[in-house]
């Protein structure tokens, strides 16, 4: 079955060069067996079994969200309200969600994640990573990665999110790098550590990540969200696929990242919801660093599933052009997962979005408005706006 989508006003996709997009006007795409089989100008489109007229709309690749925490119980709206009135964010809030997650049934955790995944589709996210990290005991971390794996292949083990209340940090680190890792290593693909003030030190992060690598997992990190404790050097040394947050970076960190394969993943929803300063993503990109944008969806620091909201924030607050932000939400996210999603090239899986807009600028030009009209994964519709 060959389906031709034609009358696309602008077909916009990330180029190899950081922050640069390629556009084809008056374009068409041919989808065959879940993949793009031809992409180009309408005038030279091949024959198809079915033709869909997109009436002058814009088509872009599906967004790649390389950072989310969807396995949790409870919610923290009161904490958010207190913060907006001036109370500082700290890693300690995570403990509230740990208690609620342990108290939840597995079906409640699954249903909550499923609802959030449906929101991802409506916001145009077609590839997403999910972390554990609100269990913090062997059984609940194992359950968390198992539920995550029902929704995605990009499952991350974050046993090292914070040290649970009342436990010794070094003993807990040994558990995360030992028995807990054994319980998750066949299900998770990635190992992550929150290396920051109030969470894990660089030395503890090294123990967890090297144990994870030895068990066959690939490393990534949460770092420099609250303070710069020297985590970037470790991320680069261990060839982490990504180092996430990067709210506070030194000049030396920027140089290290620019000479590495480690993506800087920026999470503007977290700066928004914790009233923190925004890092300058535009500057990082101009310094040769591959930047990703991700939702960081979690009940504490960033309870959003909206990639267009993150794009709008990046454009308004992070020194990024709309082109740079769209590149970061597609190619950047794919690079942060060491994958090749976020493309519209012939041969790739047909993950794409139809925007109710003539061009991609509307993603930021119409903040807070549902501009995603439909979302396709492997050529199949997973969301239609009504
Ligand atoms: O990415 N920084 C650590 N983890 C989450 C926050 C988790 C929470 O507050 O529940 C984050 O922002
Ligand atoms: Fe996070």
The CATH number covering residue 365 comes to: 2.30.40.10
Q: How confident is the model at residue 89 (pLDDT cuts 50, 70, 90)?
A: confident
Helix axes 138-149, 94-103, angle to 10 degrees: 80
My answer on whether 39 and 183 are in the same domain is no
* φ, ψ of residue 180 in degrees (nearest 5): -65, -40
Contacts of 36 (CB under 8 A, 6+ apart): 29, 30, 344, 345, 346, 347, 348, 349, 350
My answer on whether 57 and 71 are in the same domain is no
Residue 216 has pLDDT above 90, yes or no: yes
Helix boundaries (H) for 168-250: 169-177, 179-184, 202-214, 231-237
Please tell me whether the overall predicted TM-score, pTM, comes out greater than 0.75 for this model: yes
What is the strand order of the sheet 50-61 is part of? 35-41, 21-32, 2-14, 50-61, 352-355, 372-377, 380-384
Q: Which of 94, 99, 100 for mutating ligand 1's site (highest number of atoms within 8 Å of CB)?
A: 94
pLDDT tens sequence across 118-143: 999 999 999 999 999 999 999 999 99
Q: Give the per-residue pLDDT at 92.
A: 80
> In the structure encoding, which two tokens stand for residue 90, read together?
């700290």
pLDDT tens sequence across 250-297: 999 999 999 999 999 999 999 999 999 999 999 999 999 999 999 999
My answer on whether 351 and 327 are in the same domain is no
Decide if 67 contacts 265 (C-beta within 8 A). yes
- Residue minimizing CA distance to atom 11 of ligand 1: 301
My answer on whether 208 and 349 are in the same domain is no
> In the structure encoding, which two tokens stand for residue 4, read together?
């031709």
My answer on whether 25 and 114 are in the same domain is no
Average pLDDT score over residue span 331-338 = 98
Q: Which of 67, 69, 223 for mutating ligand 1's site (highest number of atoms within 8 Å of CB)?
A: 69
Mean pLDDT of all residues in the chain?
98
| Residues around the ion ligand 2 (C-beta < 5 A) | 296
Residue 91 has pLDDT above 80, yes or no: no
Looking at the CA of residue 244, tell me the nearest atom of ligand 1: 1
My answer on whether 160 and 108 are in the same domain is yes
Residue 351 has pLDDT above 90, yes or no: yes
Rounded CA separation 238/246 (Å): 17
- Work out how many domains the chain is built from and give that number: 2
Q: How confident is the model at residue 56 (pLDDT cuts 50, 70, 90)?
A: very high
Residue with tokens 């964010």: 89
My answer on whether 22 and 156 are in the same domain is no
- Among residues 255, 356, 368, the alpha carbon closest in space to that of 306 is found at 368
My answer on whether 213 and 201 are in the same domain is yes
Residue 90 has pLDDT above 90, yes or no: no
The parent domain of residue 26 ranges over 2-62+343-384
């Amino acid at each position: 079955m060959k389906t031709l989508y034609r009358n696309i006003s602008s077909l916009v996709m990330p180029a190899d060069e950081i922050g640069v997009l390629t556009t084809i006007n008056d374009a068409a795409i041919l989808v065959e067996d879940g993949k793009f089989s031809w992409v180009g100008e309408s005038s030279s489109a091949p024959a198809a079994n079915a033709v869909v007229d997109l009436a002058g709309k814009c088509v872009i690749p599906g967004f790649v969200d390389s950072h989310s925490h969807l396995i949790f119980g409870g919610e923290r709206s009161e904490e958010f309200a207190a913060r907006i009135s001036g109370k500082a964010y700290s890693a300690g809030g995570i403990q509230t969600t740990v208690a609620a997650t342990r108290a939840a049934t597995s079906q409640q955790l699954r249903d909550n994640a499923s609802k959030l995944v449906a929101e991802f589709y409506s916001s145009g996210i077609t590839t997403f990573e999910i972390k554990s990290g609100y269990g913090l005991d062997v059984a609940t971390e194992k359950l968390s990665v198992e539920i995550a794996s029902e929704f995605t292949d990009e499952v991350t083990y974050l046993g090292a999110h914070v040290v649970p209340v009342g436990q010794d940090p070094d003993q807990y680190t040994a558990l995360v790098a030992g028995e807990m890792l054994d319980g998750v290593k066949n299900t998770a693909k990635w190992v992550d550590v929150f290396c920051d003030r109030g969470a894990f030190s660089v030395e503890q992060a090294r123990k967890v990540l090297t144990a994870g690598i030895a068990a066959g997992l690939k490393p990534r990190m949460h770092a420099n969200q609250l303070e710069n404790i020297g985590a970037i050097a470790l991320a680069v040394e261990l060839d982490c696929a990504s180092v996430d947050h990067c709210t506070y970076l030194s000049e030396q960190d920027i140089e290290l990242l620019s000479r590495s394969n480690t993506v800087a993943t920026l999470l503007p929803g977290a700066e928004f919801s914790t009233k923190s300063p925004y890092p300058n993503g535009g500057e990082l990109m101009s310094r040769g660093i591959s930047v990703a944008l991700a939702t960081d969806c979690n009940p504490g620091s960033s309870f959003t599933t909206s990639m267009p909201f993150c794009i709008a924030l990046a454009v308004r607050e992070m020194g990024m052009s709309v082109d740079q932000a769209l590149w970061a939400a597609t190619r950047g996210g794919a690079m942060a997962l060491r994958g090749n999603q976020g493309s519209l090239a012939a041969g790739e899986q047909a993950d794409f979005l139809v925007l109710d807009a003539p061009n991609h600028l509307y993603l930021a030009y119409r903040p807070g408005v549902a501009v995603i009209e439909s979302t396709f994964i492997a050529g199949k519709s997973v969301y239609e706006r009504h």
